[in-house]
Structure 1
Amino acid sequence: MSSDPPRRRYDSLRRTLQAQATSAEIAHAARRLFVARGWAATTVRDVAREAGVSVPTVYSAYGNKTGLIQAVVDAADLSADAMQMLAELEAAADDPRRQLAAMAGYDRRLFERAADVIALIREVGRIEPDLATTYDDARRRGDQTRVQVFTSWPENTLHGELDLATAVDIYAALCNIDVYATLTGERGWTPDRVESWWARALVRELLA
């Protein structure tokens, strides 16, 4: 048994957790400033000041502004809880209707919790060549998830006139940030109502 005092025994774990907490606070600070001021107007020094850390600490954690924006994107993805979607997909492996509802639920959570980040990435992509593909990469990852789910279904589950690519396109046309923003922002729909409508519309449009 170790004779080290309890505090010393857990020093390594404490340092790791403190570093994770600092990195998370830097990412939160970057998100607040990028959304409020815009990408171009926010400096690494601004983020450090907002997070209450030194500039070298920001560079050590994320490298540069590009690393910061990627951290903001990654945090937005985590906020939507992809693991919840995966669990729901696995639990409904023999029920395409429930699987479509699980994917719609994920998209609702993503747009509800990270619409500001998605808008930010679109803006940054127009002015920063190194980040121009970030939004497209996220969209492709979404498409890949749909392909994996749709190809797991028995033959003839999709409407007879639909091929796989068209089914993915239809999903993307229905469940996207612009539709979500229009319905919740301009039409007064609740996020619950959007998610419920998406689930019904996907079944109607995609399944035989």
Structure 2
Amino acid sequence: MPPTASSPVLLTKRGLARQQKLLEVAERAFLQNGYAATSVNEIVRQAGGSLGTLYRQFGNKLGLFEAVFKKKSQEIFAPFDDDALWSDDMAKSLYTFGHTLQHIALSADGVAIYRLVVSENNLDQGEIQKIFYRHGPQTAIRVLARYLEKQMKAQRIELLNAELAAQQFLEMIKGPFVLRALFGESLAEQELETALNQAIMLFLKGCEKTV
């Protein structure tokens, strides 16, 4: 079931610090134990505070999971809201974005969250998958699609659909490695670099503006 709706909680400076601690402890617990095996009582014990405070701030365990994932997503994607990270040098912009996303998705934490989303079986799994897609892949697609749309308007590239193109680019840079990472295989940095550079080459060649 979805998180229980609750009124916004106004927090003091101390309350914000306690909330941050709860999120840090919860993130570590979800990544190490998975969703089903994570205990909100244990999170409260480690972070301090009370179970009542946790429920008042996050609604329930699923609400806590979404808050953790939303916070992580904001940390990852916030820098890309800065126009200074994007330029008309598309190869450079795609490299910067792609390198970041590639290493997040294929990191130990990235693989752990992906495993939690695709392999667990619990009553909240459907909602967990929606949360993951909304704050993870969907956010990455939206950020890249916005940049591609800007390049289309400037008539630098030609695409049928910027959002679909963003999805296709992201699959090129991480798709060949996800299963290998899930199965515990170590990935060489040079493999990732080659995949990224080749994806940029193929992508730009495929969408270059024709006269």
TM-score range, shorter-chain basis?
Answer: 0.7 to 0.9
Q: Any idea what SS the aligned residue of 2:177 has? A: helix
Q: Is the 8 A contact 1:29 1:47 kept in 2?
A: yes
Please tell me the residue identity of whatever aligns with 1:173: E
Select 2:204's aligned residue among 193, 204, 207: 207
Q: Which residue of 2 aligns with 1:157?
A: 157
Select 2:96's aligned residue among 102, 118, 124: 102
Q: Which residue of 2 aligns with 1:42?
A: 38
Q: Is the 8 A contact 1:104 1:175 kept in 2?
A: yes
Please tell me the residue identity of whatever aligns with 1:83: A
Which whole-Å CA distance do the structure 2 matches of 1:156 and 1:62 have between them? 45
Q: Which residue of 1 aligns with 2:47?
A: 51
1:61 equivalent to 2:50? Answer no
| TM-score, structure 1 normalization | 0.73
Q: Which residue of 2 aligns with 1:86?
A: 81
Q: Is the 8 A contact 2:44 2:50 kept in 1?
A: yes
Give per-residue Cα distances to partners, 1:148-197, cap 9 Å, x unaligned: 11121143535xxx63365334213223377257369524413xx46633
Q: Is the 8 A contact 1:76 1:110 kept in 2?
A: no
Q: Which residue of 2 aligns with 1:189?
A: 188
Q: Which has the higher helix share?
A: 1
Q: Which moved more, 1:97-106 or 1:175-184?
A: 175-184
Q: Is the 8 A contact 2:98 2:170 kept in 1?
A: no
Please tell me the residue identity of whatever aligns with 2:58: Y
Deviation at 1:29, TM superposition (A): 1.5
Give per-residue Cα distances to partners, 1:43-85, cap 9 Å, x unaligned: 32122112122211211221210111012202321342x2333
1:27 equivalent to 2:23? Answer yes
Please tell me the residue identity of whatever aligns with 2:188: W
Q: Is the 8 A contact 1:34 1:42 kept in 2?
A: yes
Tell me the percent identity: 17
Q: Is the 8 A contact 1:29 1:51 kept in 2?
A: yes
Q: Is the 8 A contact 1:125 1:132 kept in 2?
A: no
Select 1:144's aligned residue among 142, 145, 148: 142
Higher relative contact order structure (alpha carbons within 8 Å, sequence separation ≥ 6): 2
CA RMSD of aligned residues (A): 3.0
Q: Is the 8 A contact 1:76 1:117 kept in 2?
A: no
Which whole-Å CA distance do the structure 1 matches of 2:92 and 2:164 have between them? 20
Which whole-Å CA distance do the structure 1 matches of 2:204 and 2:64 have between them? 41
Q: Is the 8 A contact 2:31 2:113 kept in 1?
A: yes
Q: 1:176 to 1:19 in 2, by over 3 A?
A: farther
| TM-score, structure 2 normalization | 0.72
Please tell me the residue identity of whatever aligns with 2:130: T
